[in-house]
Amino acid sequence: MTRSDRPSPLFAQRRLARCHSIADLRRAARRRLPRAAFDYADGGAEDEVTLARNESAFDAYALLPRTLVDVSEVDLSTQVLGQTCALPLVLAPTGLTRLFHHEGEHAVARAARSAGVPYTLSSLSTTSIEDLAAAVPGPHWFQVYVWRDRGLVREFFARCRASGYSTLCLTVDTPTLGQRERDLHNGMTIPPRLTLGALADAALRPAWCWKFLTTRRIRFENVRGAGDADAGDLTTLWGYITEQFDASLDWDDLAWMVQEWNGPFAIKGVLRGEDAVRAAALGVRAVIVSNHGGRQLDHAAAALDVLPEIAAAVGDRAELILDGGVRRGTDVLKALALGARACMIGRPYLYGLGAGGEAGVSRALDLLRAELRRALMLIGAPSVRALEPGFVRRSAAHPA
Ligand SMILES: Cc1cc2nc3c(=O)[nH]c(=O)nc-3n(C[C@H](O)[C@H](O)[C@H](O)COP(=O)(O)O)c2cc1C
């Protein structure tokens, strides 16, 4: 019996069955995870204005249902970068995923595969490119940060190609790391300096602590061997990594990378129409409209708020993926109506992972699938492709 076939314990199943929304999964994750781990996922930069704005931006749009439409069959599937997706969702790259469950990226990728949606492995993953590809059939996507050492970037591309990754996703909103103050308070710093309070809090979660202490050490597996002798060690490597992020990244570098990869290429972290147009002209096939889930520049615009203008600027020159703040099926519906091909989700699946491993990620995807299906039926749209701006209206209480 493989791990994925193994039934999750009855109490975990019961816990997940009581979660009826992503907000319920968030509460369950908060109870199960040490505060430092939960806050690392849940928090954002500085005053968390953008984090909150990403979610509240969806409330500014009201839905306008069409009546008497045959919705006895509803098709949720779509094509993203030539790949058929059973749902208009892509799982976002998240670093340090094994902090939330010891099976980490494997659990997330298995749940993504079962749901028929792509999974994006982060450069800062706790499972290597090769290990994930061997454990869970893809095709997966890989997210790349740009390093000063371009040899490392080239090496990533070659490793992804050899392991059958379909799509490269370059994150462009991280010339330096955003200041996440919850992490500073908890000692989740670079290097990690867990405070006494954070350690005591972790001790109150024995199930998490037991797995943390008895399973493979959490390391940045993709960059092992780089830098000094024990470069896989988080404490030394986190510093190495931040030193290695290249703040001089520009359009010439993007052009080089698109050519070097020579396959489906997405950039993640665009908030302006002109940048999306310029990227498309260089051969980028998908633009991920994103502010990194409110973790980088605080006060940046909400991803949803800039989506319509980016859609108008880009037209059909690139596919758009909305990333940030999606917590409900109606959020997905609104993003698609406003021009996105699909949505990326980060925290929704991490809450599921923290609440119950692979089954928890599946629960998150099941909830979003059921909510989207119901919303499409109630709005009178028999497929996600039928969505268009006429289904939404910016409410008078939230003028543009
Ligand atoms: C814990 C955590 C780690 C993340 N790590 C990365 C990363 O390594 N690379 C990246 O491009 N984005 C990273 N992100 C951002 C996500 O890819 C995504 O943009 C964000 O989570 C979307 O917002 P949402 O959480 O509201 O869905 C991370 C987000 C979280 C919550």
Q: What is the pLDDT along the chain (400 residues), one digit of tens a residue?
A: 444 445 567 888 999 999 999 999 999 999 999 999 999 999 999 999 999 999 999 999 999 999 999 999 999 999 999 999 999 999 999 999 999 999 999 999 999 999 999 999 999 999 999 999 999 999 999 999 988 888 888 999 999 999 999 999 999 999 988 999 998 888 876 555 667 777 788 888 888 888 888 888 888 888 766 554 444 556 555 666 777 788 999 999 999 999 999 999 999 999 999 999 999 999 999 999 999 999 999 999 999 999 999 999 999 999 999 999 999 999 999 999 999 999 999 999 999 999 999 999 999 999 999 999 999 999 999 999 999 999 999 987 776 6
State the distance from the centre of ligand 1 to the C-alpha of 379, rounded, in angstroms: 30
Q: Kindly give, in sequence order, each residue whose CB lies less than 8 Å from that of residue 158, ignoring residues fewer than 6 positions away.
A: none
Instruction: List the end-to-end C-alpha distance of the chain, in Å, as a whole number.
Output: 54
Q: Ligand 1 pocket by C-beta < 6 Å: which residues? A: 40-41, 54, 92-95, 122, 124, 143, 171, 268, 290, 292-293, 295, 323-326, 345-347, 350
Q: What is the DSSP letter of 383?
A: B
The residue whose C-alpha atom lies closest to atom 21 belonging to ligand 1 is: 346
What residue ranges define each of the domains in the chain, with the CATH number in brackets?
12-394 (3.20.20.70)
Q: Kindly give, in sequence order, each residue whose CB lies less than 8 Å from that of residue 123, ignoring residues fewer than 6 positions away.
A: 93, 95, 142, 143, 144, 145, 156, 222, 223
How many whole angstroms separate alpha carbon 125 and alpha carbon 147? 15
State the distance from the centre of ligand 1 to the C-alpha of 25, rounded, in angstroms: 17
Question: In this structure, how many other beta carbons lie within 10 angstroms of the beta carbon of residue 217?
Answer: 11
Residue 124 CA: which ligand 1 atom is closest?
A: 8
Residue 122 CA: which ligand 1 atom is closest?
A: 8
Q: In a mutational test of the pocket of ligand 1, which residue from 119, 295, 343 has the highest number of ligand atoms less than 8 Å from its CB?
A: 295
State the distance from the centre of ligand 1 to the C-alpha of 68, rounded, in angstroms: 40
The residue whose C-alpha atom lies closest to atom 11 belonging to ligand 1 is: 171
Q: Which two structure tokens, joined as six digits, stand for 369?
A: 């699938």
Q: Which two structure tokens, joined as six digits, stand for 36?
A: 């430092």
Q: Which two structure tokens, joined as six digits, stand for 393?
A: 């209206």
Residue 325 CA: which ligand 1 atom is closest?
A: 26
Residue 324 CA: which ligand 1 atom is closest?
A: 23
Q: What is the DSSP letter of 229?
A: T
The residue whose C-alpha atom lies closest to atom 8 belonging to ligand 1 is: 95
The residue whose C-alpha atom lies closest to atom 14 belonging to ligand 1 is: 94
Q: What is the mean pLDDT of the chain?
A: 91
State the distance from the centre of ligand 1 to the C-alpha of 91, rounded, in angstroms: 10
Q: In a mutational test of the pocket of ligand 1, which residue from 49, 91, 94, 368 has the highest number of ligand atoms less than 8 Å from its CB?
A: 94
How many whole angstroms separate alpha carbon 99 and alpha carbon 32? 12
pLDDT digits (tens, 9 = 90+) for 302-327: 999 999 999 999 999 999 999 999 99
Cα torsion angle, 55, 56, 61, 63, sign: positive
Cis status of the peptide bond prior to 348, with omega within 30 of 0: no
State the distance from the centre of ligand 1 to the C-alpha of 33, rounded, in angstroms: 18
Q: In a mutational test of the pocket of ligand 1, which residue from 22, 292, 321 has the highest number of ligand atoms less than 8 Å from its CB?
A: 292
Pick from 311, 272, 306: nearest CA to 54 = 306
How many whole angstroms separate alpha carbon 320 and alpha carbon 80? 9
Any idea how long the chain is? 400
Cα torsion angle, 360, 110, 78, 320, sign: positive
How many whole angstroms separate alpha carbon 126 and alpha carbon 262? 27
CA distances from 28 to 16, 100, 155, 243 (A): 8, 12, 39, 36
State the distance from the centre of ligand 1 to the C-alpha of 59, rounded, in angstroms: 22
Question: In this structure, how many other beta carbons lie within 10 angstroms of the beta carbon of residue 246?
Answer: 16
The residue whose C-alpha atom lies closest to atom 20 belonging to ligand 1 is: 293
State the distance from the centre of ligand 1 to the C-alpha of 93, rounded, in angstroms: 6
Residues annotated as catalytic are 292
**Residue 383: per-residue pLDDT:** 98
How many whole angstroms separate alpha carbon 132 and alpha carbon 139? 11
**Residue 26: per-residue pLDDT:** 98
Q: What is the CA radius of gyration of the chain?
A: 20
